Structure formats: structure tokens, C-alpha cells
């Protein structure tokens, strides 16, 4: 679908007239025209404007109420006698967690509550509470052991792995290793690690890089995807500690996919796609110290308010100031009649 781009006498493009479901290529073309660039400007311009488009896309995705744009259901299986877990790196926020094995919807609790109820962490059974434990670099911590690393590609033989761990004595230690393809290599020499604070690779590997808690077999405790140099999991604690293997469905917010390919389309309501162009145009005016920046910002802010109304107010929920539900008061004779 081609984008229709118009400009005003002041040279500010009217992004609101662009066709719905615009692609990254169409958004960039609109920006080039609005900002007076050639149809194929130098690479630095394209790179900067693409970054601005993604910044605007992320800004919209962070709005309260925009969770519906980013909700996905992620599966997690518990392990008997294990209370701590790392949810898939795709999850950045948990909305709801359901035990589909036992038909239980878990409620969120604080770690202080769990400590008060079970200070020795000895209670086990079917969990009905979960606690957010922050973000961590592994899905499962080592249990007084060493850690090993490998790649899914035999060509990964010059990638350096750096790991900061916690020893059994509570000290931190930096451990390193060099990948040897698909063969597991121990990271450092310590075999008394009880936790991993951080781990990364110095350059993106050809294959998937996996951290293990044993020289053979054992568990895969973290995975760095192709193209990345680190990974982050959302840590949770289940209480009571699972007594068996249970399957959980986690309704979680995931990051909006970055716009990188020309055919990429933003995952926001179609008629608000031009807002992303408006944001990028505003940022470019700011970059240039152009006095049209306030006008562009005003246009973006106005459409941002409209988007908030769309996200926050369903067609059946349009409150009006001063209008109260009909019916008798249930608050007693000392309160005005007709108000609940």
C-alpha cells in the first residue's frame, strides 16, 4: 500500500493523512518528503530517522493501557522442590499466571509476606502465590557447582565469555572462558558457584550460546540468542514450593518488535500509525534546532491523547462529569438521594 504524503506551506508534513498500515519504508519515505531530504538520503540520515521511528513506537507501547498491544501467553513448567524460576526473556511484565494443571489462578504476593509465613522455606504443595524477584541473567541459579558454556555452531571458537558469580562463601568472582564450538567449556575453574550476577559474550556468536550447570547433561540455565551478547530473565518465586511438575500459562507483556525491515508494520491501532511518523519528525526538528519543533510536538501530543482515550475507554465506558448512576442511595438519609 502506498503512503499518501502531503505538506503544508510551512513544510510540515500532515502524517495524519497517511494510509493505514504503513510499513517502515513508507514511513521513511514520508519523513524524507516532509523534512526536505532526497528520496534516498545518506545512510546516517536513514539510520537516525529509523531510530526516531522506533523511539516513537516504543513510547506508544509504554503507555498505560497499551498492555493489550503486547500481551502473549508463555508456558512454564515447574520442577518438584524448586521455588525460583526465570520466565522467558520475552516477558517483561506478568499480567496473570495460571496453573493449568490444577486449575489455579495464582495471586501476586511480596517476598516479605512469604518470609513471614514460611521463614524456613519448608512449605510445599500446589503454589497459589507468586513473587516477582527482579531481573536476572539466568533462568536457574547453579547449586554449588561450576558452569559450562557451549554454542550450537562449531564455528564459534573465538568468542569470549565473561561471568560474574557468587561463591558458597558469599564472595563475587569473575570467571572467563573461550567458546569451543559445540563442546562444553567450563567458565573459570570454580565449582562452588551458588549464583550468577551477570554473564555475557564479547561479540555476537554465529550460533545460540547456552550456559549449563554440568559438564554433561544437567540443566541449561541460560541461553543467549543469535545476534545478542547477553540475556535477561524475569525472576519469580512460587509459594508454596511446587511438590510436582505443574504447567503454567503466563499472560505477559513482551517488547514491541523493532522496526528493522522495510516491510515491517507497527503493532498499534492502524489509524494511529502516522503518530510514529509525527514523533520522528518532532525529534528531527529538535535535532536541527528547528523552530517548527513546538508545532510538531503539539500535533503528536494531541494524537497521543486520542490514543489514550482509545486504549483506556471502551465503547461502553465513557464517563461524563456530573452524571451519576440512577437509583436510590444506599448510603442512608444523611447523604444526597439519587447518588450511589
Count of CB atoms situated within 10 Å of the CB of 115: 12
Q: Is there a contact between 259 and 31 (Cβ–Cβ < 8 Å)? A: no
3-state secondary structure 284-338: HHHHHCCCCHHHHHHHHHHHHHHHHHHHHCCCCCCCCCCCCCCCCCCCCCCCCCC
Q: Give the burial class of 204: count Cβ atoms within 10 A of its Cβ; 0-12 exposed, 13-18 middle, 19 or more buried.
A: middle
pLDDT value of position 104: 94
The residue extents of the domains of the chain are: 15-64+258-310, 71-137+232-254, 139-225
Closest CA to 104 of 130, 133, 68, 74: 130
pLDDT value of position 260: 93
Judged by DSSP in three states, 202 sits in coil
pTM: 0.73
What phi and psi values does residue 326 have, to the nearest 5 degrees?
Answer: -80, 160
Strands (E), the chain: 71-77, 84-87, 93-99, 104-108, 124-125, 129-136, 148-151, 160-167, 172-178, 185-186, 193-201, 209-212, 220-224, 233-239, 241-242, 247-253
Rounded CA gap, 205 and 157, in Å? 9
Per-residue pLDDT of the chain (340 residues; tens, 9 = 90+): 333 333 333 333 444 445 455 899 999 999 999 999 999 999 999 999 999 999 999 888 888 777 777 889 999 999 999 999 999 888 888 999 999 999 999 999 999 999 999 999 999 999 999 999 989 999 999 988 999 999 999 999 999 999 999 999 999 999 999 999 999 999 999 999 999 999 999 999 999 999 999 999 899 999 999 999 999 999 999 999 999 999 999 999 988 889 999 999 998 878 788 889 999 999 999 999 999 999 999 989 988 888 888 777 777 766 666 555 555 566 666 666 654 4
DSSP string of 210-225, one letter each residue: EEESSSSSS-EEEEEP
pLDDT value of position 318: 61
CB half-sphere exposure, 300, CA atoms < 13 A: 22
Q: What is the Cα 327 distance to its own chain's centre? A: 45
Q: How is residue 75 written as a grid cell? A: 508456558
pLDDT value of position 193: 94
pLDDT value of position 13: 40
pLDDT tens for each residue of 108-126 = 999 999 999 999 999 999 9
pLDDT value of position 291: 93
Amino acid at each position: 500500500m502506498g503512503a499518501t504524503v502531503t505538506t503544508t506551506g510551512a513544510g510540515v508534513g500532515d502524517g495524519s493523512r497517511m494510509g493505514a498500515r504503513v510499513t517502515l519504508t513508507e514511513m521513511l519515505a514520508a519523513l524524507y518528503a516532509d523534512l526536505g531530504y532526497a528520496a534516498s538520503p545518506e545512510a546516517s540520515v536513514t539510520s537516525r530517522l529509523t531510530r526516531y521511528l522506533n523511539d516513537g513506537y516504543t513510547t506508544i507501547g509504554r503507555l498505560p493501557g497499551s498492555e493489550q498491544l503486547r500481551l502473549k501467553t508463555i508456558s512454564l513448567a515447574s520442577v518438584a522442590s524448586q521455588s525460583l524460576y526465570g520466565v522467558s526473556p520475552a516477558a517483561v511484565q506478568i499480567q496473570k499466571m495460571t496453573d493449568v494443571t490444577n486449575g489455579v489462578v495464582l495471586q501476586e504476593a511480596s517476598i516479605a509476606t512469604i518470609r513471614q509465613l514460611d521463614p524456613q522455606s519448608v512449605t510445599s504443595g500446589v503454589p497459589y502465590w507468586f513473587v516477582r524477584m527482579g531481573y536476572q541473567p539466568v533462568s536457574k541459579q547453579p547449586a554449588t557447582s561450576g558452569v559450562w558454556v557451549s554454542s550450537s555452531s562449531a564455528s564459534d571458537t573465538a568468542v569470549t565469555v565473561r561471568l560474574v558469580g557468587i561463591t558458597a562463601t558469599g564472595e563475587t568472582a569473575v570467571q572467563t572462558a573461550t567458546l569451543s564450538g559445540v563442546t562444553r567449556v567450563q567458565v573459570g575453574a570454580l565449582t562452588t558457584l551458588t549464583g550468577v550476577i551477570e554473564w555475557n559474550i564479547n561479540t555476537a556468536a554465529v550460533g545460540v550460546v547456552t550456559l549449563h550447570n554440568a559438564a554433561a547433561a544437567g540443566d541449561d540455565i541460560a541461553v543467549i540468542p543469535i545476534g545478542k551478547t547477553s540475556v535477561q530473565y524475569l525472576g519469580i518465586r512460587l509459594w508454596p514450593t511446587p511438590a510436582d511438575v505443574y504447567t503454567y500459562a503466563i499472560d505477559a507483556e513482551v517488547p514491541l518488535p523493532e522496526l528493522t525491515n522495510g516491510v515491517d508494520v507497527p503493532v498499534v491501532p492502524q489509524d494511529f500509525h502516522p503518530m510514529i511518523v509525527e514523533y520522528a519528525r518532532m525529534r528531527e526538528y529538535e535535532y536541527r534546532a528547528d523552530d517548527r519543533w513546538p508545532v510538531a510536538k503539539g500535533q503528536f501530543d494531541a494524537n497521543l491523547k486520542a490514543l489514550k482515550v482509545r486504549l483506556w475507554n471502551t465503547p461502553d465506558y465513557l464517563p461524563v462529569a456530573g452524571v451519576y448512576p440512577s437509583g436510590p442511595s444506599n448510603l442512608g438519609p444523611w447523604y444526597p438521594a439519587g447518588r450511589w
